[in-house]
Amino acid sequence: MTEGTGAISRRDVLKTSAAGAALAGSIGPAGVALAQPDTAAPPRMAVSFKVNGKPTTLQLDTRTTLLDALREHMRLTGTKKGCDHGQCGACTVIVDGRRINSCLTLAVMHEGDEITTIEGLGTPDHLHPMQAAFVEHDGYQCGYCTPGQICSAVAVLEEIRAGIPSHVTEDIAAAPGMTTLEMRERMSGNICRCGAYSNIAEAMAQVAGTSA
């Protein structure tokens, strides 16, 4: 049928069908109207922490990960989003002296914490010893995983100094050694798709004062 002749057109049929489908979707089997999805804005709250020595307060959706807070809200893009499932280590940062995967934790869980990202370890003019060692030993290729590798490496040496055992520590009652085996096992959560592992181990050994 053609439009404009007083007859029902295809367009009229489609409009009526769409409206009917929408109405049917809002009514239950007993003719009772169903609850409509809540369109209210997601809850937000203020979160205060210290990032790279600087006190910071952000207004965040409570579902925001620490990784997204750093990257999207503070523009600290050195911390990388890799797998976003805690499996690659590219998002590693140091929180209160301990390394964590920032993609697996919510920003609101870190009220009052002290957070260090790769930007807070050193600058191009004043490199952290671990950054300088990575450069010297070519501990990177594409560089995507490098910020997480360096943050993790710094924290690993502190873990060993603090006497925290690992899966390869033979005597957990004794102080763990800064051996290549210890460092490699502790770094196993940081994946380098380019395969620069031996160079990373050499860089860590140099900073630790041992031989790889």
Domain ranges of the chain: 42-121, 122-212
Cα within 13 Å of Cα(106), Cβ side: 11
Residues 15 and 120: their CA atoms lie apart, in Å, by 59
Contact status, residue 99 vs residue 167, Cβ threshold 8 Å = no
Is the alpha carbon torsion for 177, 119, 104, 54 positive or negative? Answer: positive
What architecture is domain 42-121? Roll (3.10)
Q: Taking the model in full, what pTM does it have? A: 0.78
Check if 42-121 and 122-212 are the same fold.
Answer: no
H or E stretch covering 115:
strand 114-116
pLDDT tens digits in sequence order for the chain, 212 residues long:
444 455 667 666 566 666 666 555 556 566 666 566 667 778 899 999 999 999 999 999 999 999 999 999 999 999 999 999 999 999 999 999 999 999 999 999 999 999 999 999 999 999 999 999 999 999 999 999 999 999 999 999 999 999 898 888 888 888 777 788 888 999 999 999 999 999 999 999 999 986 55
Note the CATH number of domain 122-212: 1.10.150.120
